[in-house]
């Protein structure tokens, strides 16, 4: 099969890239190694910022819960309750969200082939050849949306020096009473695990409970079990349990060559403070698809994509990394500050899930925690 663009990976980054390219009347093939739809380990928090990108349609039908409150604690202690009074983020399951976006792309003519694992990408002068475990395809350009440890990135010679965090999550079946008590509320604790946090997110029929960290050598399963004991969830039925890598964003990388580019997790575009990836998957898909359309119409080159990511995403990631260097090592002290000045915590949440800037939050941290000013 010969197409204009092959997109590898049917997550939010890949599906939305394919959708946008099809809107521009390009012939697009979307490949995924698994049978769709499939379970994906992910907290599933969709921020308000996503609405700025998904302007063509709403995702109401895949929203599992609307979050208005958050409870912060530090190593099980001193819980802080923040109530925004209106939704500040939404909960989704990735299998449903991804399937929704894939179907939107299919409706515009994107050819989707699942259960087809890419094993090799060969670049030629005028095209790219993609070999899978069952077939071979050619296109003018390729998009790697195949996540952390991307095959496409590797074969294109991109993203060779990424750093990774790791997360481990369980989907738990709980009583209707417990689920109702959790409705509209997320719980976060950032003292249990070094350089990370644990969470409880409510879904329509179960709870997603997980732990993530950017530190090395952490017993994630043990830390999560400790948290489950504290939350009285340790005896809950486990529906799914799976870990995944978190490619740490914040450093400049070459995200393209002449025949292809990478988006989302494959491009290392995960928030280095919160671990959020869905918004940046969609944002990079938006930037990538515009660049590809211009490239194929001879109005530019794929190099423009790397420039756009460096301009529109990387500055925020760099500030998020700096905040992380303040936040995680001094989390106990900062939690005491949050208890006295809840508005700072609210600002933190607004940055992660709303439209505020990490630059503003960074300045707040530096001004409100004077003894940390020279420790970054």
pLDDT confidence of residue 114: 97
- Rounded Cα–Cα distance for residues 276 and 373 (Å): 26
Q: Judge if pTM exceeds 0.75.
A: yes
- Rounded Cα–Cα distance for residues 204 and 127 (Å): 45
pLDDT confidence of residue 251: 84
Nearest to 352 by CA among 248, 285, 252, 280: 280
Q: How confident is the model at residue 369 (pLDDT cuts 50, 70, 90)?
A: confident
Question: Quick one: tokens of 150?
Answer: 């991307």
- Beta strands 196-202 and 77-83 are unpaired
pLDDT confidence of residue 371: 56
pLDDT confidence of residue 374: 44
Q: Find the mean pLDDT for residues 15-32.
A: 98
% residues pLDDT > 90 (the chain): 78
Sign of CA dihedral 317, 318, 321, 322: negative
* Structure letter (DSSP) for residue 270: B
Using CA atoms, how far residue 194 sits from 13, 75, 198, 220, in Å, is 29, 11, 10, 10
* Structure letter (DSSP) for residue 265: G
Decide: 198 and 223 in contact? Cβ < 8 Å.
Answer: yes
- Rounded Cα–Cα distance for residues 38 and 77 (Å): 37
Look at residue 131 and give its three-state secondary structure.
strand
Ramachandran area for residue 37 (φ above 0: left; ψ -120 to 50: alpha; else beta): beta
Burial class of residue 102, CB neighbours in 10 A (0-12, 13-18, 19+): buried
Decide: 201 and 231 in contact? Cβ < 8 Å.
Answer: no
* Structure letter (DSSP) for residue 35: P
Decide: 64 and 202 in contact? Cβ < 8 Å.
Answer: yes
- Rounded Cα–Cα distance for residues 369 and 125 (Å): 55
Look over the chain and give the mean of its residue pLDDT values, rounded to a whole number.
Answer: 93
Number of residues written out for the chain: 376
Q: How confident is the model at residue 373 (pLDDT cuts 50, 70, 90)?
A: low
Query: What domains are defined for the chain?
Result: 2-44+93-160+251-312 (3.50.50.60), 63-89+164-247 (3.30.9.10), 326-372 (no CATH)
Q: Find the mean pLDDT for residues 100-128.
A: 97
Q: Find the mean pLDDT for residues 214-227.
A: 92
- Angle, helices 278-296 vs 12-23, to 10°: value is 30
Decide: 22 and 108 in contact? Cβ < 8 Å.
Answer: yes
pLDDT confidence of residue 372: 55
């Amino acid at each position: 099969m010969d197409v204009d663009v092959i997109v590898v990976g049917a997550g939010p980054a890949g599906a939305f890239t394919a959708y946008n390219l099809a809107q521009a009347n390009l012939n697009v093939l979307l490949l995924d190694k698994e049978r769709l739809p499939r379970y994906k380990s992910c907290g599933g928090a969709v921020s308000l910022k996503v609405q700025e990108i998904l302007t063509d349609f709403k995702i109401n039908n895949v929203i599992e819960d609307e979050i208005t409150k958050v409870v912060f604690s530090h190593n099980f202690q001193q819980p802080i309750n923040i109530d925004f009074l209106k939704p500040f983020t939404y909960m989704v399951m990735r299998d449903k969200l991804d399937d929704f976006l894939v179907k939107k792309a299919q409706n515009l003519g994107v050819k989707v082939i699942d259960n087809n694992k890419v094993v090799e990408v060969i670049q030629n002068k005028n095209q790219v050849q993609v070999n899978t475990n069952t077939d071979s395809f050619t296109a003018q350009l390729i998009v790697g949306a195949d996540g952390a440890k991307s095959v496409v990135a590797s074969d294109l010679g991109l993203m060779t020096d990424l750093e990774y965090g790791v997360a481990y999550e369980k989907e738990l079946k709980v009583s209707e009473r417990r689920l109702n008590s959790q409705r509209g509320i997320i719980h976060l604790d950032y003292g249990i695990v070094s350089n990370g946090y644990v969470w409880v997110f409510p879904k329509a029929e179960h709870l997603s409970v997980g732990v993530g960290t950017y530190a090395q050598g952490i017993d994630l399963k043990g830390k999560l079990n400790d948290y489950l004991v504290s939350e009285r969830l340790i005896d809950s039925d486990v529906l799914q349990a799976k870990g995944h890598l978190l490619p740490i964003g914040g450093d400049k990388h070459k995200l393209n060559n002449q025949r292809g580019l990478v988006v989302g997790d494959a491009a290392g575009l995960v928030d280095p403070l919160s671990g959020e990836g869905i918004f940046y998957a969609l944002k990079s898909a938006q930037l990538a698809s515009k660049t590809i359309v211009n490239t194929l119409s001879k109005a530019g080159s794929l190099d423009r994509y790397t420039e756009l990511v460096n301009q529109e995403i990387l500055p925020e990631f760099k500030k998020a990394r700096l905040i992380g260097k303040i936040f995680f090592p001094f989390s106990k002290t900062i939690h005491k500050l949050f208890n006295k000045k809840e508005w700072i915590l609210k600002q933190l949440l607004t940055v992660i899930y709303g439209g505020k800037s990490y630059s503003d939050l960074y300045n707040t941290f530096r001004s409100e925690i004077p003894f940390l000013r020279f420790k970054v």
